[in-house]
Amino acid sequence: MNAENRKAPSAVIVLAAGAGTRMKSATPKVMHAIGGRSMVEHAVAAARDLDPQRLAVVVRHQRDKVAQHILDFDAQVAIVDQDDIPGTGRAVEVGLTASIIPISLMVPCWSPTATYPCFAPKPCAN
């Protein structure tokens, strides 16, 4: 499928609920900066490049702080609160409202060209 014929996903969900226990930091894992932007900003930007109809970010650890951080750079994101059941599968489950492409913060500089070439109308910018 070429870029002109690509169909944007109905929704994309960004998984930003992890505690980052191994990082041993008071700052939520998803708010750590890499290349001038937080990990979650990179993930949301990559998701926006797909031009989804809906973009949701699942939060759990330090949810209020993380949610405000996200809304400060993208007020159109739907914040989805993960309940007390931990795990990536559960994060996807609570964020599931339409067909989605999960983006894990385990790969903070993920791009649609790397995994889904049909979604990339132009080369990735670094």
**Tokens matching residue 121:** 């109308």
Q: Which residue has the tokens 């702080």?
A: 65
Burial class (CB in 10 A: 0-12, 13-18, 19+), 63: middle
Beta bridge partners of 58: 15, 80
Q: Catalytic residue among 22, 37, 54, 60, which?
A: 22
Checking DSSP bridges between strand 54-59 and strand 37-38, what pairing results, if any?
unpaired
Helix (H) or strand (E) holding 80, with range, is strand 78-81
Decide if 63 is catalytic. no
The residues annotated as belonging to the active site are 22
